[in-house]
Chain A
Amino acid sequence: NAGVTQTPKFQVLKTGQSMTLQCAQDMNHEYMSWYRQDPGMGLRLIHYSVGAGITDQGEVPNGYNVSRSTTEDFPLRLLSAAPSQTSVYFCASSSSAVYNSPLHFGNGTRLTVT
Chain B
Amino acid sequence: AQKVTQAQTEISVVEKEDVTLDCVYETRDTTYYLFWYKQPPSGELVFLIRRNSFDEQNEISGRYSWNFQKSTSSFNFTITASQVVDSAVYFCALSEAVQGAQKLVFGQGTRLTINP
Q: Is A71 an interface residue (CB 8 A)?
A: no
The CA-CA distance from A75 to B4 in the complex, in Å, is: 28
Across the two chains, which residue of chain B brings its CB closest to A96?
Answer: B102
* Known contacts A31-B101, A48-B103; A99 and B95 CB within 8 A of each other: yes
Q: Is B13 an interface residue (CB 8 A)?
A: no
Across the two chains, which residue of chain A brings its CB closest to B6?
Answer: A42
The CA-CA distance from A39 to B92 in the complex, in Å, is: 15
- Chain A interface category by residue count: 20 to 34
Across the two chains, which residue of chain B brings its CB closest to A49?
Answer: B101
Interface majority SS (helix, strand, loop, mixed), chain A: strand
* B57-65, B74-82, B104-112 - the one binding chain A: B104-112
- A97 near B101 with CB under 8 A, answer yes
- B99 near A44 with CB under 8 A, answer no
Q: Which of B2-32 contact A (CB under 8 A)?
A: 4, 6, 9, 32
- A103 near B97 with CB under 8 A, answer no
Q: Is A19 an interface residue (CB 8 A)?
A: no
Q: Which residues of A lie under 8 Å from residue B42 when comparing CB positions?
A: 107
- B108 near A101 with CB under 8 A, answer no
Q: Which residues of A lie under 8 Å from residue B37 when comparing CB positions?
A: 103, 105
Q: Is B52 an interface residue (CB 8 A)?
A: yes
- B102 near A97 with CB under 8 A, answer yes
Q: Is A94 an interface residue (CB 8 A)?
A: yes
The CA-CA distance from A108 to B42 in the complex, in Å, is: 10
* Known contacts A107-B44, A108-B43, A108-B44; A101 and B102 CB within 8 A of each other: yes
Across the two chains, which residue of chain B brings its CB closest to A43?
Answer: B106
Interface residue ranges, B against A (CB under 8 Å): 4, 6, 9, 32-33, 35, 37, 42-47, 50, 52, 91, 93, 95-97, 99-109
New A-B pairs, 15, CB < 8 Å, besides A90-B45, A100-B52: A43-B91, A43-B106, A48-B103, A92-B45, A100-B50, A100-B95, A101-B102, A102-B47, A102-B50, A103-B102, A103-B104, A104-B47, A105-B37, A105-B44, A106-B44
Interface residue ranges, A against B (CB under 8 Å): 31, 33, 35, 40-45, 48, 50, 56, 58-59, 88, 90, 92, 94, 97-108
